[in-house]
Amino acid sequence: MNAIHFSRFGRAIVAAAVAALLSGQLLAADVTALRCEGIAGNSGEQGATLVKFGPNANREGTIGSGVVKDRFGTLWSRAGTGVLNRYTLDGRQIESFKIPVGNKGNARESIALAGDLLVMNLRDDVYTLNINATPDQSPKKLDGVKADEISFSSADGWVAGVRDTDVFVFNPATGESKNVVKIDPPTREVELLPDGRVAAIANQRLHIYRIADGTDVTPDGKGMAVPGDRIQFLGGYWYGGAWHGTLRRFNAAGDADPGVVLGGGSGSFIGHLESNVEVNVPRGLAALRDGLVAISGAGGVVQFAAWEPAQTRFELVRRIGSVPQANGIGLGRDGTIWWLGGSWRWDDRCDQPLRATVESDANGGAGPVAMLDEQIMAAPMVRQNKPAIAHGSVNGEVDMDAIDAAANQWPKKIAGFAVSKTKKGIVGLVIDDHGTGCALRLGRDGQPGGGLGPIALKAASPIGTLTSLASSGSHLWASIDGAVVDFAPNGDGWEEKTRWSNWGSGEAEHFGNSITLAGDGDRLWVSDSARQRVLLFNSGGDKPALVASFGEADHAGDDLAHLSNPTTIAAAGERCVVFDSANQRLVKLSLAPSAVAAGSPGRP
């Protein structure tokens, strides 16, 4: 971390300590302060530059619109429903604009740049926004122009569009439009070449048309092969996306050159390339410099991809975005963090792309994560509308297996998942927010076996809201209505043994109304959402003893000393990772000496 960030961090620590002292909220003197060791998943890291996405980011109902680079060298890309973000090239958010809510489902929304005008099609309307606008200004609707999709590129101030069977060009500065050609059946793919010709897909072939008279000037007259979805012409090559984070490159004549250049999909390429769930499906590219492009994925996260000539493929080198949701986090003993379907290493920068990812149909990725041993994880999820378990090492691509036996008992909304080692082997418990669900067998690698039938946690009083499960040794902890409830085995089920929501009489020694748990050995980690902190307890004695804490009770913040509505948490040894939900980031905490003070990776 550079000197500026360390200075801010130091001031924040002092300010937090003074504020806590003045408010009488410091805990016992022998309680250790957990140390922040950096941020994962938010390229803005902290403060005013944090990246914030709008609602429904990374969800099935919102599709990314592409990315453009303006003459100031800043990037623009949609970030969730009704939000357009502007970024510096090192990943900091500098502005955010409210835009009209676009389509849902399989949206075909695009963004282009014509001079200093950003051009966006949202639903079937076209809007413009000057790159010099301030966040209090709204995009202007372009009257008289309707488009199902617009081109990524512009030429001499003109942009191409398609509406049903009509391919046309329009000038966003004046509103003037010209019809080019009518295509039957309708097409939703259009691009504008640098020389002003228009490309569109007709009968599953790529054709090029002259604007003046609509003449098809494709070299062989039969059309060229289509590289994939969302065709784009950039730097003399055709690009198209596909599932599994796949990007294909064809030359100007429509021949694979070499074919797949990113991701795992085949086609002209036979084999396997590592894919990235956040690039799935690529929604548009922007040239940054020779050999470096920005790619917008379906959820709006922007990735930088560097061309590797020796391998004739792209490699992801920077991630610009946030962590808008975290239903589950896994943490290996070596510090590997698993989220969404991929992983980060403990010492990764805040703008590191996810590694070794897999796809999930579930909103926000897989559900709660449970660790089976030092590196093996398992997480319930949904794949192709069926219950499934993602499982394997957090250090590599995990496997996904559907579960048929437990489908009829699978919770509609999974609130907790934990594993228990019993005489029947390893058992996974999948629980909803009322404490009911199902049990299933798991192998040593987390692979699901047969279902063991329905299960219900037997609490001493009715369960209002269960927010998480955590297991360690003989413990099965549940966070219920702001309390930690310890369940013990009782026959084929689990019965409440103890319950506590405070560990002393002081005002600061009580949980808020919603907590989330993670267990490791005799240590119980608690994310205290309403009170803006993380607490570490030793549960080995007759009553829990507070060991360490992070954050200032009842004071939210966005620097490296504070949290804002922390929720999901994972722990291993002396480390934990917590989802700082209102700041849309993962915060790395440790009992070990802080890497921040030693200059840990933050922003390069």
User: Does residue 21 have a pLDDT over 50?
Assistant: no
Per-residue model confidence (pLDDT) at position 67: 95
Residue 258 preceded by cis peptide, ω within 30: yes
User: Does residue 482 have a pLDDT over 80?
Assistant: yes
User: Does residue 298 have a pLDDT over 60?
Assistant: yes
Nearest-5° angle of CA 19, CA 22, CA 26? 75
Q: Which of 393, 368, 333, 338 is nearest to 574 (CA)?
A: 333
Q: Predicted confidence band at 186 (pLDDT cuts at 50, 70, 90)?
A: confident
Tens of pLDDT along 77-103? 999 888 999 999 999 999 999 998 865
User: Does residue 457 have a pLDDT over 80?
Assistant: yes
d(CA 110, CA 286): 12
Q: Predicted confidence band at 559 (pLDDT cuts at 50, 70, 90)?
A: very high
Tens of pLDDT along 369-392? 999 999 999 999 877 777 889 999
Instruction: Give the type of residue at 121.
Output: N
Instruction: Give the type of residue at 191.
Output: E
User: Does residue 303 have a pLDDT over 80?
Assistant: yes
Domain ranges of the chain: 3-43+324-590, 58-320
For the domain made up of 3-43+324-590, the CATH class stated in words is mainly beta
For the domain made up of 58-320, the CATH class stated in words is mainly beta
DSSP string across 175-232: --EEEEEE-SS----EEE-TTS-EEEEETTEEEEE-TTT--B--TTSS-B---SEEEE
Average pLDDT of the residues of the chain = 87
User: Does residue 592 have a pLDDT over 70?
Assistant: no
The answer to whether 594 touches 583, Cβ cutoff 8 Å, is: no
Per-residue model confidence (pLDDT) at position 452: 85
The values of phi and psi at residue 241, to 5°, are: -100, 170
When pLDDT is averaged across residues 271-298 and rounded to a whole number, the result is 85
- Average the pLDDT over each of 170-184, 263-277, 358-372, 481-495 and give the range with the smallest value: 263-277
Hey, what long-range contacts does 417-424 have (CB within 8 A, 24 or more apart)? 417/328, 417/367, 417/368, 417/369, 417/370, 417/378, 417/379, 417/380, 417/469, 418/370, 418/469, 418/470, 418/471, 418/476, 419/370, 419/372, 419/378, 419/471, 420/471, 420/476, 420/489, 422/489, 424/452
Q: Predicted confidence band at 12 (pLDDT cuts at 50, 70, 90)?
A: very low
